[in-house]
Chain A
Amino acid sequence: MNHSISLTVNGARREFVLDDPRVTLLDLLRERLHLTGTKKGCDRGQCGACTILVDGKRINSCLALAISHDGADILTIEGVARGDQLHPVQAAFIAHDGFQCGFCTPGQIMSAIGMMSEAQAGSDPERVRECMSGNLCRCGAYAGIVDAVLDAQAGIDESNQRRSA
C-alpha cells in the first residue's frame, strides 16, 4: 500500500509517495532527496552521525520512520548555511579544527545547533560534553569539537546581548 506524506525540508515543501512504510527519515533524505550530508553510521541510534532537526529538535533520523513524521519541518546540514555564508557553528568547527575525517561532522554540527536552542549547556565545558554525548567521533576530535561549540555559543550569546542592549 502506498502512503503519501509531505515534509518541509530545508525550507522547501516536498511531497512523497512511500511504497514501503519501513523508510526512515535518514534513508528518505539520502536516497530520495540525495541529501547525503546526513550520514548513516550505526543506523541504530548509537552514534549520532544521522542527527537532524525535526520541528527544531535534534533527533537520530535513523530511528525515525518517515511515514510517522508526515507534516514535519526538517533541517539538515545542507540547510544551515546562508548561501556562501557559513552557519556560526560550521565556521567554529573550521576555526577550532573540530574534526579529522569529517564523517561525524554534519551530525556534530546539527547536534550542536540543536543543543544551543535547548539552552541547557551555556558556557560550561562539562555540560557541553554531556549534552553532546550522543555524537561519537572515532577520530577523537572531541577537544576541538567542545572548543568549537563553546566558541559558537559565546558568539550567539554576544549577539543576543547586542540585540537586547
Chain B
Amino acid sequence: MKTFDYVRPATVAEAVAAAAQPGAAYLAGGTNLLDLMKGGVSRPDRLVDVTHLDGLDQIERLADGGVRIGALVSNADLAHDSDFAKSYPAVAEALLSGASAQLRNAATVGGNLLQRTRCAYFYDTASRCNKREAGSGCDARGGENRTHAVLGWSENCIATHPSDFCVPLVALDAIVEIEGRSGRREIALDELHRLPGDTPERETAFEPGDLIVALRLPPAARGFAAHARYLKVRDRTSYAFAVVSAAAALRIEDGKIVEARLAFGGVAAKPWRARAAEDVLRNVAPTVDAFQEAARRALADAKPSGDNAFKIELARRIVVRALSLAAAGTPARIPALPASPFAPTSGAIHARA
C-alpha cells in the first residue's frame, strides 16, 4: 500500500475542504477502499477520515412520512432497525444478502453507494482497464466476462456496479444528500452513477470534495411495504456478489397493481431501473402473464458483452420470480437465506419468461 497523509476533520465543512484537494479520498468503513489500496488499485495521497464526524449516524423518520439515513449508519444497523425493515423490507433484505456479517458491521450507507466494481481486470493492476487507467484499454472485453454487463455497457467498459443495497433504493426513488464546495445539494440516486460511454473512469456525478451526508427515501416508498422483495442469484448462496439480482415492489389494490417498481443489480455500471417494465404493470392483475411481459420489456435493450448471454435470460426469469414473490406478499420475517432463490418460500415459481 502506498503511504498517505491522514486527516481527521472535525466538521463536514473541514472534511469537504480537505477532500477537495487532488489525490484525496474519503475514508468511512474502509471495507472496499482499504482492499483497493492494498492491491494498489486505489492510490490516494490523502485519506480524509469522516468516521468521527458528528450527526451522520442517525436514522430519522421525517414528518412527511419519509426517512433520512445518515451516511455513516452501518449496513447492519440499518438492516436490523425493525421499523426501517418493516417499512422498506426489500431494502433490508438486500442489505442482509450482501457481504458478510463482519463487513456489514463496518460498511456504511454512504460507502456502499460509492463502492467500486468487482471486475477482476479492474482489480488486477497488470491488466488493461479504462476505468482504472483512462485510455489503457479493456482486458475484460475479450477475457473472463461471464459476470459482466448486459445493459448500458460500451466498448470501453463492461464492468457492473456490485451493490445490492442500491437496487431497491433506486426502485424506491432514493435521494442522495451531498455536501460539496458550493454547499448542500441533492440528486436522485438514479443520477448518481454514470454509464461508461467513452469515459468509464468517471463513475459518478460527483465533483472533488463532494461528501454524501445522507440518503432519503420519499414518503411514497413506504407504500410498497406489503409487497416488496429482493431476489439475488449468485455463484454461492451466501457471501457473494450478484450475478443478477432484482428488486420488485408493488402496490396492489382490489386485486390490481396500482403501481410497480422494478430494478436490477449486477447487469450494468449502475443500479438499473426498469421503467418500461413498470409501465406495463400499471392497472393490471398481478398474473404471471403480466410479469412475463414486464420481463420482456425490461430486457428489451440487453445484449451480451461477452460470455454472458445467459444473464439476459436469467434476468428475465428473476423478474418474473421476484414479481411473483412480491405479489404473494412480504414475509413476516426476512428468510434465513436473505434474497436467495433457494429459500423455501411459498408463492415461488420457476417461471419461464
Contact = CB atoms under 8 A, between A and B. Distances in A.
Interface residues of A, number: 36
B337 A58 contact: no
Contact of A20 (B3, B27, B76, B80): B3
Contact of B100 (A48, A65, A68): A48
Nearest to A133: B238
Q: Is the interface of B mostly helix, strand, loop or mixed?
A: loop
Nearest to B336: A126
Q: Is the interface of A mostly helix, strand, loop or mixed?
A: mixed
Which of A51, A68, A132 gathers the greatest number of chain B CB atoms within 10 Å? A68
Interface string A108-130: 00010011001010001011011
Contacts of B336: 124, 126-127, 130
Contact of B35 (A63, A68, A126, A127): A63
A67 B4 CA distance: 12
Given A64-B106, A68-B49, A126-B336, A131 B101 contact: yes
A126 B103 contact: no
Which of B6, B101, B239 gathers the greatest number of chain A CB atoms within 10 Å? B101
A138 interface: no
Interface string A48-61: 10010000011110
A13 interface: no
Given A48-B100, A60-B31, A127-B336, A22 B3 contact: yes
A111 B102 contact: yes
A60 B238 contact: no
Contacts of A45: 31, 34-35, 102-103
Nearest to B29: A63
B338 interface: yes
Interface string A125-164: 0110111111100000000000000000000000000000
Contacts of B80: 118, 120
Contacts of A118: 76, 80, 101
B38 interface: yes
B335 to A, nearest CB: 9
A64 to B, nearest CB: 7
A31 B92 CA distance: 38
Interface string B246-262: 00000000000000000
B3 A134 contact: no
Interface string A17-38: 0001110100000000000000
A43 B337 contact: no
Given A59-B105, A68-B49, 6 more contacts: A21-B3, A21-B5, A57-B105, A60-B103, A114-B105, A124-B336
Interface of A: 1, 3, 20-22, 24, 43-45, 48, 51, 57-60, 63-65, 67-68, 70, 111, 114-115, 118, 120, 124, 126-127, 129-135
In the A-B complex, list the 8 residue pairs whose CB atoms are closest, starting with the nearest. Answer: A134-B100, A133-B238, A21-B6, A126-B336, A133-B239, A57-B105, A127-B336, A59-B106
